[in-house]
Amino acid sequence: MSERPQGSDEQDRGILSTFALHGKVAIVTGASSGLGVDFAAGLAEAGADVVICARRVDKLETTREHVQATGRRCLAIPADVADVEACRTVVERAMSELGAVDVLVNNAGVAWACPTTREDPADFRRVIDINLLGSYWMAQACGRVMRPGSSIINIGSVLGSVSLDLPQTAYTSSKAAIIGLTRDLAQQWTGRKGIRVNALAPGFFPSEMVDEYPDGYLDRMVERVPAGRVGDPRELVAAAVFLASPASSYISGVLLPVDGGMMTG
């Protein structure tokens, strides 16, 4: 039986340590429910202190308790990301109370389904304001204070790249735009500022958004997923931790689908 090479344990600990976020401060938007709660808790489990923001103050407090249960610090700030001043306030408070912003997860978003010929302009603008402009305002504010080695993770969707069976022009437009936003910010900031910018494209995961689908819709969509199931939120969180951590230090400007193979079809 051959012996393990000397130093193997140290090497194992070395590679695993690149996924850790100890000493980092992460902001998660839309953290009052669903995947936002999972992102906040997962980043805290990886070692980060977390700033959470959302419009629903009562639910935000529940998320704060989840994060603090991991032993990490958590700052909860009521904020609407469609308001550029609110985004700046979140970043200013993160800097003043926690001392840094190293990670941004642009998770805040809303879905809307309506036939295009019947869509009210205000409804279309609301989706764009939150999903696209909110991500831009938060990235802009964070980009002004982030240190080299920081990471921005935009949450897109497979619907930014593929079409399904619901009329979701506003939502799909906003998620397609997230791809362009990610690519351009990565080009601007990776070399000049040392800030990596990537995007996740989730497929179907349990969330309030999925709960609003018409009866039978999700079952039909799962038939198009090679993995044959919806995702487990921790599978998406693991991808976010990877993109937030030094483990992905040579990755910027990419769209990473976490969709059970859906975009291969």
Question: Across-strand partners of 53?
Answer: 29, 77
What dihedral angle (degrees, nearest 10) is formed by the CA atoms of 74, 79, 84, 85?
-80
Q: For residues 172 and 170, what is the distance between their CA atoms, to the nearest angstrom? A: 6
171 catalytically annotated: yes
Helical spans, DSSP H, in the chain: 8-17, 34-45, 57-68, 84-98, 121-128, 134-143, 169-189, 208-211, 217-222, 233-244
CA 113 to chain centre: 22
Q: For residues 158 and 253, what is the distance between their CA atoms, to the nearest angstrom? A: 16
Indicate which residue of 171, 213, 217, 250 is catalytic. Answer: 171
Neighbours of 245 (CB within 10 A): 21
Type of residue numbered 116: T
**Catalytic residue annotation:** 171
